[in-house]
């Protein structure tokens, strides 16, 4: 039991505790803040696994982007001090049973599988290596998904603007005319 | 460093996935359901990175999978929040039980 092991279990406890509070607390704003803690814990887990680039991306995209977006939408749609309605007891019990069953089943599978091909080769997730492989066109390059995902982001951005846009007077009049 | 076995990292991510599933089942508010989905996506990312590090350290494919999952999750959250705000504008509520027009 050395320092690294203790740090791992502390990070695991932070992630799981914050996640449980995020899905059970009744105040929606607190739920968002617990989600923030859980995501920071996951970034810490990536730092612990020495994949610094993924950890940085996790902090930039999730903590800096998605949680802020969620908090903005809470402010736009809710009275954040108000408590949400408690879910029905039967639903809570059956959901908890389903989750516990799934957890137990998967724990059992993982426990009995026995990963015995643990490799000791050096792991080099440096930004150099990631960048070279991301943009390489050889057989292990990821240039095609990289370009496709950029199109996806563009489509998502345009889609968001179109969905959330308030209909202007002109379009409303136009639609009414069509109905007549 | 390698004293924590791979299975323990997998236990953490499994527990995180099922916590997200519990949240998705019990919550009725669209924003909190979105939060549960984010937790589930994150547990999958932990799995990809852990398998990459422990079983195939000479390749980087797991890292790329988690990078692309993070990107797509960001796009998904943005679209979902646009839909939620639009729903709030027409129904004055983002509770899934209040949006029943298309229910069969």
**What residue spans of A59-165 are helical by DSSP H?**
67-77, 89-113, 127-134, 143-164
Query: What whole-number distance in Å separates Cα of residue A128 and Cα of residue B62?
Result: 16
CB nearest to B23's CB, from A23, A74, A84 = A23
Q: Do B22 and A23 touch (CB under 8 A)?
A: yes
Query: What whole-number distance in Å separates Cα of residue B60 and Cα of residue A141?
Result: 10
Residues of A in contact with B33 (CB under 8 A): none
Q: Does B104 map to a domain?
A: no
Q: Does B102 map to a domain?
A: no
Q: Does B20 map to a domain?
A: yes
The answer to whether residue A32 neighbours chain B at the CB level (below 8 Å) is: yes
Q: Does B101 map to a domain?
A: no
For residue A175, pLDDT over 70 is answered with no
The answer to whether residue A111 neighbours chain B at the CB level (below 8 Å) is: yes
Query: What whole-number distance in Å separates Cα of residue A97 and Cα of residue A80?
Result: 30
The predicted structure's pLDDT at residue B19: 95
Q: Does B46 map to a domain?
A: yes
Q: Do B60 and A129 touch (CB under 8 A)?
A: yes
CB nearest to A102's CB, from B5, B12, B21 = B21
Which domain range does residue B23 map to? 6-95
pLDDT above 90 coverage of chain B, percent = 58
CB nearest to A65's CB, from B29, B74, B76 = B74
**What residue spans of B1-103 are helical by DSSP H?**
6-26, 30-55, 61-91
Q: How many domains would you assign to chain B?
A: 1
Q: Which residue of A has its CA nearest to B66?
A: A54
For residue B1, pLDDT over 60 is answered with no
Q: Does B53 map to a domain?
A: yes
Q: What is the ipTM of this complex?
A: 0.91
Find, among A19, A18, A152, A104, the residue nearest to B72 by Cα.
A152
CATH for B81: 1.10.287.3510
Indicate the CATH number of A1-125 among 3.40.630.10, 1.20.120.1200, 3.30.1050.10, 2.30.40.10. Answer: 1.20.120.1200
> Distance (Å) from the C-alpha of residue A55 to the closest C-alpha of chain B?
10
User: Which residues on neighbouring strands pair with residue B29, listed in sequence order?
Assistant: B95
Domain residue limits, chain A? 1-125, 127-180
Q: Does B103 map to a domain?
A: no
CB nearest to B74's CB, from A20, A66, A107 = A66
pTM (two decimals): 0.89
The predicted structure's pLDDT at residue A179: 65
Q: Is A50 left (phi over 0), alpha (psi -120 to 50) or beta?
A: left
For residue A19, pLDDT over 80 is answered with yes
């Amino acid at each position: 039991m050395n320092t690294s092991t203790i740090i791992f279990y502390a990070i695991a406890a932070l992630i799981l505790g914050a996640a449980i509070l995020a899905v059970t607390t009744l105040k929606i704003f607190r739920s968002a803040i617990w989600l923030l803690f859980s995501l920071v814990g996951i970034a810490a887990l990536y730092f612990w696994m020495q994949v610094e680039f993924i950890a940085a991306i996790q902090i930039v995209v999730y903590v800096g982007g998605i949680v802020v977006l969620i908090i903005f939408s809470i402010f736009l749609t809710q009275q954040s001090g108000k408590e949400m309605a408690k879910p029905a007891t039967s639903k809570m019990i059956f959901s908890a049973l389903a989750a516990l069953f799934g957890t137990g089943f998967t724990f059992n599978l993982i426990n009995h599988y026995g990963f015995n091909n643990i490799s000791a080769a050096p792991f080099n997730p440096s930004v150099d290596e990631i960048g070279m492989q991301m943009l390489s066109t050889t057989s292990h390059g990821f240039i095609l998904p990289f370009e496709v995902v950029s199109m996806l982001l563009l489509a998502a951005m345009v889609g968001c603007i179109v969905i959330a846009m308030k209909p202007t007077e002109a379009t409303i009049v136009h639609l009414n005319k069509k109905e007549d | 460093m390698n004293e924590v076995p791979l299975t323990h990292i997998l236990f953490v991510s499994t527990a995180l996935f099922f916590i997200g599933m519990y949240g998705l089942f019990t919550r009725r508010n669209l924003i909190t359901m979105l939060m549960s989905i984010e937790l589930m996506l994150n547990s999958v990312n932990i799995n990809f990175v852990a398998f990459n590090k422990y079983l195939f350290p000479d390749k980087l494919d797991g890292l790329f999978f988690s990078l692309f999952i993070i990107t797509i999750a960001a796009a998904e959250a943005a679209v979902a929040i646009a839909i939620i705000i639009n729903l709030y504008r027409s129904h004055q509520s983002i509770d899934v039980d209040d949006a029943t027009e298309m229910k069969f």
